Amino acid sequence: MTRQIVLDTETTGLNPGSGDRIIEVAGIELLNRRLTGKHYHSYLNPGRASHPDALKVHGLTEEFLADKPRFEQIAGEFLEFVDGAEIIIHNAPFDRAFLDMELERIERPPFHAHVPLIIDTLVMAKQQFPGKFNNLDALCRRFGIDNAHRTLHGALLDAELLAEVYLALTRGQDSLVIDLDAPRPRDAAPAQRLDRFDLPVVAPTAEEHAAHQAILEALDKASGGKSVWRPAAAERPAP
């Protein structure tokens, strides 16, 4: 049973080394790739103003955050929530740097010491869609995820959207191992005996074979004779 937490933070700026702090942290729980409805969310008083550019992004003013808890006041509860779970973050180095800084301030081990794995969905997206915009808004548009209500960045909303993006990025069979002993769902269709079916084998026509050969020749030419399909195809006799 895999427990995952989709995590996001908002901060006063971009550089924890220059004193920027976390002002909001949120996590959404997934259990075996299903949303459980459990989440963690807290606004934080950073003890300093946000950079004007950051304020335009999240809209969390000093006045709003003035009566919110400090990170050290919620650290135990937050770490208990993420403990032992795989963590999913978009652009993980950014959030990790801030979490590590906040934990160092209170003499706690760095964030990765509390969790078994950190998954970066930005890295995953760049691998699937190289050369394209892969921020959260772009991925929501690409996967048809409704983010029209996202006028400002917020950690909880962004975590909810990222959970949907992560599931879309990783959709499909998680494992090639089929658990034959797993109970069938009540509403599953009855199993069918495959030996009752006589599946026809349709050979290509001469025209289809010629068209296929032309495609292989084009691939072979484009790859400078390095096509991996051409040698295997050449060994097959024409119909």
Rounded Cα distance, 122 and 88, in Å? 10
Helix (H, G, I), strand (E, B) or coil at 37: strand
Q: Which residue carries 């301030």 as its tokens? A: 105
- Select from 57, 100, 56, 80 the least CA-distant residue to 3: 80
Amino acid identity of 214? A
- Check if 209 is active-site: no
User: Which helix H or strand E contains 9, and what residues bound it?
Assistant: strand 3-11
DSSP 211: H
Catalytic residue among 39, 153, 209, 212: 153
- Select from 91, 159, 86, 160 the least CA-distant residue to 125: 91
Rounded Cα distance, 59 and 153, in Å? 8
Q: Which residues contact 28 (CB under 8 A, 6 or more apart)?
A: 5, 6, 35, 38, 39, 156, 159, 160, 162, 163
Catalytic residues, by residue number, are 153
